[in-house]
Structure 1
Amino acid sequence: MTEEQETSNTSPSRRNFIKSGALAAAGFMILPRHVLGGKGFIAPSDMLNVAGIGAGGKGQSDIANFAKSGKANIAFLCDVDDRRAANSVKAFPKAKFYKDWREMLDKEGKSIDAVSVSTPDHTHFVATMAAMQMGKHVYVQKPLTHDIWEARELTAAAKKYKVVTQMGNQGASNDGTRQLAEWYNAGLIGDVHTVYAWTNRPVWPQGIQWPATKAEIPKELDWNLWLGTAPFKDYVNKLVPFNWRGWWDYGTGALGDMGCHLVEAPFRVLGLQYVKDVQASVGTVYVDEFKRGRFPESCPPSSHITLTFPKTGKTKGDITVHWMDGGIQPERPEELGPDEKFGDDGNGTLFIGTKGKMMASTYSESPLLLPTSRTKEVNVKKTLARVKDQANGHYKQWVEACLAGYGKMEVSSPFETAGPLTEALLMANLAVRGHDIERKGPEGVKLLWDNNAMKVTNFDEVNQFVKREYRKY
């Protein structure tokens, strides 16, 4: 791609932007916020100019949904892979296309109101923080970030830069999560002390060794830009576009993929915030026919993680949340009939209270009291506002909030709530990764978390994963 010359002497040079765009894992000396004229900027028209970082796959559907709102103009597209971007480029022929998001923000900043980030997990933070520091509203796919430190920083940045934020866990806009909250607030299941969330994912390879043979990089893919801040490795087949989820350098495993959908309801219903402690057991694979083991570069094939949250204003004591993936499920509740669906079979969330139980499937859909016959017998007044079109309205809700300006409209998953939710899930992954670190003492130790210091106090080796080192690229 031929680079355009700088448009004015007052614009930051592309060299400086790229240097700061990597964020150096610290200082955030990104672009000055001259481009939008101050905090809480409101777009000058009733159309929101959106730039999409990640135009294929989920990014493609996100962009399309913003456009369906009738209030968003897809003005710019960015993707490191021309193949993945092709459908979006065809759907929005007037949108200017870039491969490097840093170049796009540098050259087009004055024309962008909001940015959508739908890339592999390891790129979320750097692109999102750069956009926020320019005063851009942001929509970011789940999980919000790859690391705990990154989630904490974006949560603070949303308030600092006064931009409208939304995470792409669209189930947060469903009626189901609000119905569960209304049942709980009405006292129908008493005080919840235990929650189970489970998924049949991963549906991509995990618990495997990094391929020994490198492959030819497709001509449409800029491999260096795809790697971004991750350590350099040679390109291997089938990593792109989906199987990156199972590798710690890029993804966050089944927990990162589905946790934001399945644990969002407990956070909303119970007012959960930060984890107190966490422990995990993980599945292993056969290294050879005689030896079982794990490959530390890859997420495990299955896990059962137990997180403890301190009591909240909605509970009488601590809350235990169990996460299960790889097809592991909790014991079926005795109140559930032998042939009734448990969640949606492969995924679900179960709340256990002192007076009863309730459950839901993925995205908090199909909320049910147990026994299920009780659901139709109970009539609780609606006290929480619903989002029009539910999950499909998650996108329009963000677009309209951006047009209204910071603080003028509510959104379902602002970083204020999405940040702590993501932190909790990534805290669970610390316990998983702890199994691959040699240490004295028992395997699967309970990790004790100091939330203010943002560190594990009894197993220092896992703290290296709270904030990773960034590669300069």
Structure 2
Amino acid sequence: MPVIDRRRFLVHHAAVAAAAATSVTLAPRCVRAAANDRLKVAFIGVGGRGASNLKAITGTGRIDVVAICDVDNRFLENTAKQFPAARKFRDFRKLYDAVGKEIDAAVVSTTEHMHAYATMPALQLGKHVYCEKPLAYNIAETRAVTEAAERAGVVTQMGTQIHAGANYRRVVELIQSGAIGDVHEAHVWVGRAWGLQSEADAQKNDRLFVDARPKTGMTPPSYLDWDLWLGPAPERPFHQVYFPGPNWYRWWDFGNGTMSDLGSHWNDLPFWALQLDAPQTVEAFGPEPHPEIAPASMSAEYQYGRRGDRGPVKLTWYQGTHKPEIWERGEIPKWNSGVLFVGSKGMLLSDYRKHLLLPESDFEDFVYPDPFIPDSSGHHEEWVAACLDGGETGSPFSYAGPLTEANHLGNVAFRVGKKITWDRETMKCIGCPEADPFIRRQPRAGWSLS
């Protein structure tokens, strides 16, 4: 398969900025419904995040809900009451067989390990797709989805809702206009500490405490199809430490912990602002890797090479109790979660909704650049508009795919317990064959991406 090259990956956000500067409407790069048509959508996963996505997308007033799907019958029946004309399914494979030709788009809000399997059929049918983050369970699945979207030429969007916020746009403008000079270092930290930790720490930080796979199973609740919930993941008996969500989030077979989840939101900002792509090397730090459970606390150091006229940059991710040294020393505000850019002329600290130029005394008379990245109509709204009217989304798979791959590489480095050198073309860690099982896996019988 061809690899999405860096130029194609970067061109999206450059095009958005150029369009703003020249008042030129971007030409749509997609097959789309006729102007003013309503979008016929299948919603796969309608509880939790799925319910939120359903509400936001139908709230645009331009949607016909053709089909709904969930392995949890409680969510399925509750949603059916709201949309009685929609056809109901427990298995999304049967949904695509039954209504694939009738729909224009699919919205995927399943558990992480199902994302690629629920998304790929829509892309193969030439349908627009909105998929929750992270884009897919591992690097190989992410690459397959990214390339399928490129071939399909449809409108895509990954669920990084904060990407549409005004604060991120202003930060990107500051970094790219040189407000703090050449950025050579970035730090990203999140306070969430879900995953493997002591029972005492779990009582303070987490939803539950678990440090090993249960030795016995439990009877699944009557409303849940456990076999469909497992999907391509290895078979195991039901237990409440996996379900309901997000209990599954910490188990390597179903998710990738905090790194792939919150990394989709927080690493998005430096990825966008610094025009990052594939790291050259990644090294992770934390407790001894557990074969089944992701850590509550860890950190990962990424080295990126030159990108055009931008020099090399080191990006470090921290989660749980891990924090940057400059934060520990109290030399910056101790925000619970944040992104710190370190440049030759100063620093910029940001979270989702606010940012500071540091040291503040050096920027008292600073004049902000005129905005050159257009404000978004809304994360979900821009996807619907792009499907029906043409145009671009903020987090298409061509951008979200490389971001997701980079996040996964932090976990790969953690799980192999050593520094890895990444070969993007071959999707391999050079001289580290033990990383292969963490890059790709064979799905359970009956499941395939082809």
TM bin (shorter chain): 0.7 to 0.9
Whether 2:318 is the aligned partner of 1:324: answer: yes
Counterpart amino acid of 1:395?
H
Question: Pairwise mapping of residues 128-139 of structure 1 onto structure 2 (< 5 A)?
Answer: 128-139=119-130
Instruction: Report the Cα distance in structure 2 between the residues aligned to 1:207 and 1:446, rounded to whole angstroms.
Output: 28
Partner of residue 235 from structure 1, selected from 238, 256, 259:
238
Per the TM alignment, residue 213 of structure 1 is displaced from its structure 2 partner at its CA by: 2.1
Instruction: Report the Cα distance in structure 1 between the residues aligned to 2:174 and 2:263, rounded to whole angstroms.
Output: 22
In structure 1, what is the equivalent of residue 17 of structure 2?
Answer: none
Whether 2:440 is the aligned partner of 1:467: answer: yes
Q: Matched residue of 2:422: which SS?
A: strand
In structure 2, what is the equivalent of residue 245 of structure 1?
Answer: 249
Q: Matched residue of 1:73: which SS?
A: strand
- The count of residues paired between Structure 1 and Structure 2 equals 403
Instruction: Report the Cα distance in structure 2 between the residues aligned to 1:249 and 1:233, rounded to whole angstroms.
Output: 10
Counterpart amino acid of 2:268?
E
Q: Is the 8 A contact 1:204 1:246 kept in 2?
A: no
Long gaps (5+) in structure 1: 1-38, 285-293, 436-444
Q: Matched residue of 1:306: which SS?
A: strand
Partner of residue 306 from structure 1, selected from 297, 301, 309:
301
Instruction: Report the Cα distance in structure 1 between the residues aligned to 2:266 and 2:150, rounded to whole angstroms.
Output: 26
Whether 2:163 is the aligned partner of 1:181: answer: no
Instruction: Report the Cα distance in structure 1 between the residues aligned to 2:143 and 2:209, rounded to whole angstroms.
Output: 27
Partner of residue 432 from structure 1, selected from 397, 414, 429:
414
Q: Matched residue of 2:404: which SS?
A: helix
Deviation string 1:18-77 (CA, Å, 9 cap, x unpaired) is xxxxxxxxxxxxxxxxxxxxx714258521111111010001100110011111122211
Per the TM alignment, residue 450 of structure 1 is displaced from its structure 2 partner at its CA by: 1.1
Whether 2:446 is the aligned partner of 1:452: answer: no
Of the structure 1 ranges 376-385 and 94-103, higher mean CA displacement relative to structure 2 is found in 376-385
Counterpart amino acid of 2:342?
I
Long gaps (5+) in structure 2: 1-29, 195-205
Q: Is the 8 A contact 1:280 1:303 kept in 2?
A: yes
RMSD value, Cα: 2.0
Per the TM alignment, residue 193 of structure 1 is displaced from its structure 2 partner at its CA by: 0.9
Deviation string 1:94-130 (CA, Å, 9 cap, x unpaired) is 2221100010110011221100111111111111111
Question: Pairwise mapping of residues 102-121 of structure 1 onto structure 2 (< 5 A)?
Answer: 102-121=93-112
In structure 2, what is the equivalent of residue 216 of structure 1?
Answer: 219
Instruction: Report the Cα distance in structure 2 between the residues aligned to 1:184 and 1:321, rounded to whole angstroms.
Output: 15
Instruction: Report the Cα distance in structure 1 between the residues aligned to 2:271 and 2:124, rounded to whole angstroms.
Output: 28
Per the TM alignment, residue 239 of structure 1 is displaced from its structure 2 partner at its CA by: 1.4
Counterpart amino acid of 2:232?
T
Q: Is the 8 A contact 1:150 1:467 kept in 2?
A: yes
How high is the sequence identity, in percent, across the aligned residues?
A: 38
Q: Is the 8 A contact 1:358 1:369 kept in 2?
A: yes
Whether 2:368 is the aligned partner of 1:368: answer: no
Deviation string 1:449-468 (CA, Å, 9 cap, x unpaired) is 11111101121111122111
Q: TM-score w.r.t. structure 1 length?
A: 0.81
Instruction: Report the Cα distance in structure 1 between the residues aligned to 2:31 and 2:97, rounded to whole angstroms.
Output: 20
Instruction: Report the Cα distance in structure 1 between the residues aligned to 2:172 and 2:309, rounded to whole angstroms.
Output: 10
Partner of residue 417 from structure 1, selected from 399, 403, 412:
399
Q: Matched residue of 1:300: which SS?
A: coil
Q: Is the 8 A contact 1:82 1:221 kept in 2?
A: yes
In structure 2, what is the equivalent of residue 395 of structure 1?
Answer: 380
Question: Pairwise mapping of residues 139-150 of structure 1 onto structure 2 (< 5 A)?
Answer: 139-150=130-141
Q: Is the 8 A contact 1:63 1:74 kept in 2?
A: no
Counterpart amino acid of 1:326?
G
Counterpart amino acid of 1:369?
L
Instruction: Report the Cα distance in structure 1 between the residues aligned to 2:365 and 2:213, rounded to whole angstroms.
Output: 51
